[in-house]
Amino acid sequence: MTVTLRNVDIPDFGLPVERPAIPAATYETRCARAINKSGADWLVVYADREHAANIAFLTGFEPRFEEALLLLGKAGQRIIV
């Protein structure tokens, strides 16, 4: 087997015309699934600047400077602190 290294051109994908948007209903579905899967009355999700993926996935919100909590209630309550 012979391996050969060669230069290749990077494809020009262009710039995006618009920013992709995730519908609010998608976030609502994600929150509902999370609280239902937990089996709890309330689900608390912690985030800070370095650990924001869970809140971002559930709400689209990313804390920039301080910590944040997302409280999900079984009856549909949604609170960000």
HSE-CB for 9 with a 13 A CA cutoff:
3
pLDDT score, position 16: 87
pLDDT score, position 20: 87
- In this structure, which amino acid lies at residue 27? Y
Alpha carbon distance 25, 58 (integer Å): 11
- Please tell me whether residue 65 adopts helix, strand or coil conformation: coil
Tokens 């301080």 — which residue? 66
pLDDT score, position 67: 95
pLDDT one digit per residue (tens) for the chain, 81 residues: 899 999 999 999 999 899 889 999 999 999 999 999 999 999 999 999 999 999 999 999 999 888 999 999 999 999 999
- Environment class of residue 55 by beta-carbon count within 10 Å: exposed (0-12), middle (13-18) or buried (19+)? buried
pLDDT score, position 23: 97
